[in-house]
Amino acid sequence: MHDYKIRIYHEGKVDFYGYGSDSKAQAEIPGDYILSKMPVFYNPVMKLNRDIAVYTVRTYQILTKKSLRICEPLTGCGVRGIRLAMEVNGADSIIINDINPMAYDIANRNVEMHNLRDKIQVFNEDANLLLSKNAFPMKRFDVIDIDPFGSPAPFLDSALRAISKNNGLLCLTATDMAPLCGVHTNACIRKYGGVPLRTTYCHEIAVRLLISCSVLTASKRDIALAPILSHSTDHYIRVYLKTISGAKNADEMVKQIGYLVHCNHCHFRQLKPGIANSLSSVCPSCGDDARIAGPLWCGKIQSREFIAQVLENSKADGDKRAIRLLSLILEEADAPATYYDLHSICDQLNLPCPALEKIIHPLKEKGYSVTQTHFKNNSIRTNAPVSEILKTIRKAQ
């Protein structure tokens, strides 16, 4: 039935058992779960995702000073939960869970290996069922980490029932980039309730669609969700959101959901907060057809203060790639929404792309703010108008 070989891996501060195959079996019915066909998932490519999760939860614990109750309802072999137990002080009570009995078995072995029975409980249930069983006041979790194959959307509602209404930390991974980046528009509308757009900055749009869907789901329970850290890496996006209780606070978040107006012809883009918004499909800049994405999150996707603390708390043992990523995110944390992909602009102009510095420096000299972005190489966030960017590109030839 399985051709997977059990192996010992090492990541962060832990050794653990996993299955040494990267192949992913396909469900016969799309969206269904075929137990016998699924490998016990360990994906080394997601190490960076887990590294950042460890440093973020560590920071959250330092800031809240809580004894944390954590849930990872889609745990695979359990490495994330085990790393949290071993690498975060105050991660005192952790539930890890997987619907696959093989994953449950291997996660148990990993808990045994590290003598973590007093801290970690392992379950073999459907994630939504497990979360729902923990949805009443004294049982709710401080931190919930949803790290699925594909979209976290099917787990959002139960996660928001099971998380602390105030000062909880919701961590979400989405790997379904084809829907979120506008390759499968209907799937995106179905999962996230928003229209995506195939643009050069579609990964930021993806983050904004995921945040908007989460904020709206939370608002039904009078919980406000505030994004404090977002990143797009390899084949996935990841967002961290803090809960704040109260209908008025939730209203304030919902007000930041709206639309993006984008023009392919002249690179114009504008975020328009407000779900009930009147939108024109004519580009206000060049009069060409504009395209509309959303509803999506129009507010900030990063908290500079929080990310600065995450960086500080990862210095001692932080992975170099994670630190580099966090440093880039810190730099762009307060920069304008959406970025300009210089390669693609130059392609459109039929010009070779100059070195990044040859664009950044002159724009800064003129008094504009300019930063690079972790979302994409050769791309900038700036408050300079498109006309200035084009002028600078032409001058740099």
Is 74 an interacting residue with respect to ligand SAM (CB under 6 A)?
yes
Stretch that binds ligand SAM, among 98-106, 133-141, 190-198, 317-325 (CB under 6 A): 98-106
The rounded distance, in Å, linking the Cα atoms of 29 and 391 is 53
**Given the rule CB under 6 A, which of 39-47, 109-117, 135-143, 314-322 is the region that contacts ligand SAM?**
39-47
**Which range, of 145-153, 211-219, 259-267, 305-313, touches ligand SAM by CB under 6 A?**
145-153
> What is the distance between the alpha carbons of residues 53 and 31, in angstroms, rounded to a whole number?
26
Instruction: Tell me the window of 23-31, 93-101, 327-335, 377-385 that interacts with ligand SAM (CB under 6 A).
Output: 93-101
Partner from ligand SAM, Zn ion, none binding residue 210, C-beta < 5-8 Å depending on class: none
Contacts of 372 (CB under 8 A, 6+ apart): 328, 331, 332, 356, 360, 379, 380, 381
Question: CB 145 → Zn ion: shortest distance, Å?
Answer: 41
Segment contacting Zn ion (CB under 5 A): 93-101, 103-111, 264-272, 376-384? 264-272
Q: Residues 224-263 vs Zn ion: string with x where CB under 5 A?
A: ---------------------------------------x
The interface with ligand SAM within residues 104-133 (CB under 6 A) comprises 126-127
Q: Does 292 bind Zn ion (CB under 5 A)?
A: no
Question: Minimum distance from CB of 376 to ligand SAM (Å)?
Answer: 24
Helix or strand run (H / E) with residue 371: strand 370-373
The stretch near ligand SAM (CB under 6 A) out of 8-16, 75-83, 241-249, 304-312 is: 75-83
Q: Is 172 in the site for ligand SAM (CB under 6 A)?
A: no
**H helices present in the chain, as ranges:** 47-64, 79-87, 101-113, 127-133, 153-162, 177-180, 185-192, 202-219, 247-254, 304-314, 320-332, 342-349, 357-365, 386-395
Distant-in-sequence, close-in-space partners of 56: CB < 8 Å, separation ≥ 6: 169, 171, 229, 240, 310
Closest distance of CB 263 from Zn ion, Å: 3
- Cβ(351)–Cβ(394) below 8 Å: yes
Least distance to Zn ion, CB of residue 373, Å: 22
Residue with tokens 């973590």: 116
Size of the site for ligand SAM (CB under 6 A): 22
Q: Which is nearer to ligand SAM, 217 or 392 (CB)?
A: 217
Among ligand SAM, Zn ion, none, what does residue 265 contact (CB within 5–8 Å per kind)?
Zn ion
Nearest residue to 49 (alpha-carbon basis) of 171, 207, 228: 171
Query: 138: exposed, middle or buried (C-beta count within 10 Å: 0-12, 13-18, 19+)?
Result: exposed
Q: Which does 50 bind (CB under 5 to 8 A by kind): ligand SAM, Zn ion, none?
A: ligand SAM
Q: Which does 216 bind (CB under 5 to 8 A by kind): ligand SAM, Zn ion, none?
A: none
Residue 246 φ/ψ, nearest 5 degrees: 115, 135
Contact 325, 315 (CB under 8 A): no
Q: Which is nearer to ligand SAM, 4 or 149 (CB)?
A: 149
| Nearer CB in complex with ligand SAM: 103/253 | 103
Which residues lie across from 91 on neighbouring strands?
A: 68
- Cβ 242 to ligand SAM shortest distance, Å: 21
Choice from 75, 110, 158, 233 touching ligand SAM (CB under 6 A) = 75
Nearest to 149 by CA among 57, 28, 236: 236
Q: Please report whether residue 100 would count as binding ligand SAM according to CB under 6 A.
A: yes
Q: Which is nearer to ligand SAM, 127 or 326 (CB)?
A: 127
Q: Can you tell me the distance from the alpha carbon of 153 to that of 217, in angstroms, rounded to the nearest whole number?
A: 10
State the SS3 of 204-233. HHHHHHHHHHHHHHHHCCCEEEEEEEEEEE
DSSP string over 102-119: HHHHHHHHHHHHTT-TTT
Query: How far apart (Å, rounded) are the C-alpha atoms in residues 50 and 186?
Result: 30
Nearer to ligand SAM, 129 or 349 (CB): 129
**Minimum CB separation from ligand SAM for residue 73, in Å?**
6
Could you tell me which residues come within 8 angstroms of residue 371 by beta carbon, excluding any fewer than 6 positions away?
A: 331, 332, 335, 380, 381, 382
Residues that bind ligand SAM (CB under 6 A): 33, 38, 41-42, 46, 50, 73-76, 79-80, 97-100, 103, 126-127, 147-149
Residues that bind Zn ion (CB under 5 A): 263, 265-266, 268, 283, 285-286, 288
